[in-house]
Amino acid sequence: MGEQPAHRFALRVYFEDTDAGGVVYHASYLRFAERARTEWLRDLGLPHRQLIDESGLIFVVKRLSIEYHRPARLDESLVVETRVAGIGGASVELRQTIGRGGEGIATLDVALACVRLATGRPERIPATLRALIHPVS
């Protein structure tokens, strides 16, 4: 598979994202990554609402690992880059990096499962959806 350009999502660290010392709380990185995945899908032309309404499918986090490299702090500007690392029959593997001015803050490896909303059961990713997510696969 060829390398696709990363999807970039910019954000600012707000007080609600930090601990009492102004350092980003560990769980806030999960929210940052979730927002970035939502905007990645939206920019592909797959907003969650449309995906649900047209196909009855959703993507859910099946597995996630995160490595923290450096702390982020109150009022900093961060960028979350999302790349497709692989795609299976009913799953998508993503690598998300959170950075500040070219400096790595955190790296997340995320496995998403394609699930039928009505049943909660995994389902193959439709070909049209697959082509949008990873057009070279």
**d(C-alpha 117, C-alpha 49), whole Å:** 12
CB 97 within 8 A of CB 104: yes
- Burial class of residue 129 (count of CB atoms within 10 Å of its CB; 0-12, 13-18, 19+): buried
Q: Where are the alpha helices (DSSP H) in the chain?
A: 28-43, 48-55, 127-133
19 is catalytic: yes
Catalytic residue among 19, 53, 75, 109: 19
What are the catalytic residues?
19
